[in-house]
Amino acid sequence: MRITLPTWFHKLASPPHFYRFARLLGPWLLWVSLLLMLIGAWGGLFLAPPDYQQGDGFRIIYVHVPSAYLSTMIYAVMATAAAIGLIWRIKLAHAVAAAAAPVGAWFTFLALVTGALWGKPMWGTYWEWDPRLTSELILLFLYFGYMSLRSAFDDQSRADRASAVLALVGVVNLPIIHYSVIWWSSIHQGPTISKLDAPSITTDMLWPLLVMILAYTLFFAAVLLQRVRAEVLDRERHARWVQELLAGPEGEVR
């Protein structure tokens, strides 16, 4: 039985079509994300009340939580793109995975740093070999491993296949990160938003956090589109449509 993809997906997987689509959508996503960041930061820093236990120190969640969320979400995007590239042999999917990896590594690093800054006054130390912290650190190493494996091959097709396998193997770490505070004894704070009952956070603290999560997500999408455009141009540099693009009226690719 052969698995087929919808026609619209095949059209979007066309490098020149995707390049034009990303060029139009990217700036809109960027400006909306920056506006939402300003709104969320204002709400989190000035409108949300101090936490009754942590005081104003809790406000780092408006950077830490979106960064931690993006660290795992981007890996899921990367692994999904890698799987699509392996199964349907769509080169653009491998380009998406390659473009997402450095961005995911930066968000993972930011999550670890902001977590350490929060941990020092709250736990008395910057680092503990806590299940959540350790699995998040492993995620950073997975990003580094994916990027290093790609760069180890001169042949792009082999690099795509090998790194895709690593990305798929690393998916097992995602549920460990999410459920580590439930499965094992952890000093890390438990779930506050993704609970079956009511969130353990008041509305005036919650809405800036949700706005920041949305802002970070849209910012990632904007950056990803820009990086995929660059990746597509590099992969398709000998293609006719790229040569025509370079030979256009402006003489350069925007």
Nearest to 101 by CA among 83, 76, 75: 75
Cβ–Cβ < 8 Å for 168, 82: yes
- What does each of the 254 residues of the chain score in pLDDT, given as a tens digit? 455 555 655 666 789 999 999 999 999 999 999 999 999 999 999 999 998 888 898 999 999 999 999 999 999 999 999 999 999 999 999 999 999 999 999 999 999 999 999 999 888 899 999 999 999 999 999 999 999 999 999 999 999 999 999 999 999 999 999 988 887 777 777 666 655 455 568 899 999 999 999 999 999 999 999 999 999 999 998 888 888 887 876 555 55
Q: pLDDT tens across 130-140, in order? A: 999 999 999 99
First-to-last alpha carbon distance for the chain, in angstroms, is 42
CB contact at 8 A, 189 and 198: no
| C-alpha span between 109 and 113 (Å, rounded) | 6
What values do phi and psi take at 81, rounded to 5? Answer: -60, -40
Read off the tokens for 62: 């408006």
> For residue 171, with 0-12 CB atoms within 10 Å meaning exposed, 13-18 middle and 19 or more buried, which class applies?
middle
